[in-house]
Amino acid sequence: MAQITLTDLPAASRWTNWVGNQSFTPAHAAAPRDEEEVVALVRAAADRGTHVRVSAATHSFTPVVETDGLLLDLSAMRGVVATDAERKRAQALPGTLIQDFYEPLWSAGLALRNQGDIDTQQIAGAVSTATHGSGIGYTSLSGAVRGVRLVTGTGEIRDIGEDEPDLLRAAQVSVGMLGVITRLELAVTDTYRLREQVGLRSWDDVMEHWDELVNDHRHFGFFWLPTEESAALYNLKSEPGQTLTDQCYVKLFDEVGDDVPDDDTPDRRVDRCYRIFPMVYDPNFHELEYFVSLDKGPDALRAMRELMLRSLPDSVYPLEVRTVGADDAFLSPQYETDTTVISVSGKPGTDYWDYLRSVDALLADFDARVHWGKLHFLTPERLHALYPRADDFIAIRRELDPAGVFLNDHLRPLFW
């Protein structure tokens, strides 16, 4: 195996995330082309007592990537490397974008079980932060992980599969703390097509029909619009003259058979699943995203609406609401519970921290868990109160990375 010396690496440039709220300059940076180079780099860093983090596709709003040591870019390690139609499995390298799965899976008669509306994320970063779509019948991407191959804090290669359930549950949502992922295996499904129905409904109507909307559709989500200007911030389409204030921009996805023709009408599209899911966002927002148990969702949403109306103009951005099904990953926001997802955004450059702290305090009363890639105010005390297997995760982290090579100033207070 080739030897790598950190001092031989080119000077690191400044790293900035996609929305510009996180920025730093690491001591070293490298873009390994394969697992062998990852091993050499991690060993070189560990030998010098240097910390290591992975940058993925820069979509996190939190300082999960920041490091004073070595920053790895795995974008060269990209591609779906195997599919198994019989077992409904797919294997991919860590830098594989979500959109890279589409054609290789479809040609094998397969598709991702579920996904969010941004498909330019790298799969390793997406699963490590529990990135999700919507629908209580479906987990986040992390819940589909059936195998992880990674390089540990001592530079060893470790394969984690279903025969080691606790290790797998720790690795499914690890926020990069167990090692550098070099390959993933996902449970996938047969190909399917979706009908998307989009339309405005009043807040009262959505709340009145909450159970029906949640249970009767494959995917249900909405943006609540506090002002007339809210829709334009997320490129949401509206008809001239429509009143938008206090309206919900509702999206419903349902599976359809092959006998239903494709349709590109904006409010009732029909197509392959991977052509329906994605949505293009301008990176003009910062986001906090918390999860409350499904049964507490309506009460939490009513409280949020009242808070946002009192807090204008800081809350001009729409409130995004989705649901996600339960899984068993130790750090998952959906650990053993279906959840209501509540996403709150604000304008870059605006001091809206008091507002976000008010949101945090309000949702703490509903035992809200956090999205690891979104702004949050989690403390060690709340971590252990809200995540029943936090101690088990920390024990596994210490086993695979005893020196804390993969920790940073953001994660160390929670997970050392």
Q: Residue 222, exposed/middle/buried by CB under 10 A (0-12, 13-18, 19+)?
A: buried
Q: What is the tens place of the pLDDT at every residue in 131-144?
A: 999 999 999 999 99
Q: How many helices (H) and strands (E) does the chain have?
A: 13, 20
% the chain with pLDDT above 70: 100
Q: Which pLDDT belongs to residue 61?
A: 94
Please give the residue that has the higher pLDDT: either 234 or 38.
38
Token match 């649901």: residue?
323
Structure tokens at 262: 């494709």
Tell me the pTM.
0.95
Q: 111-159 pLDDT, tens per residue?
A: 999 999 999 999 999 999 999 999 999 999 999 999 999 999 999 999 9
- Residue 387: is its pLDDT beyond 70? yes
Q: Report the distance separating Cα 12 and Cα 227, nearest Å.
A: 43
Q: What are the Cα distances from residue 48, in Å, to 44, 51, 178, 387, 410? A: 7, 9, 19, 33, 21
Report whether the peptide linkage leading into residue 402 is cis, meaning its omega lies within 30 degrees of zero: no
Q: Is the pLDDT of residue 263 over 90?
A: yes
CA pair distance 158, 399, nearest whole angstrom: 12
pLDDT score at 350: 82
User: What average pLDDT does this structure show over 10-29?
Assistant: 94
What are 150-208's pLDDT values in tens digits? 999 999 999 999 999 999 999 999 999 999 999 999 999 999 999 999 999 999 999 99
Question: pLDDT, tens digit, for every residue of 287-336?
Answer: 999 999 999 999 999 999 999 998 877 788 999 999 999 999 999 999 99
Name 351's Cβ contacts closer than 8 Å, sequence gap at least 6: none
**Domains, the chain, ordered by start:** 6-72 (3.30.43.10), 80-190+389-415 (3.30.465.10), 193-371 (3.40.462.10)
pLDDT 10s digits, 343-362: 999 888 788 899 999 999 99
Residue 2: predicted pLDDT: 66
* Helix, strand, or coil (residue 211): helix
Round to whole Å and give the CA distance between 345 and 315: 7
In eight-state DSSP terms, residue 97 is B
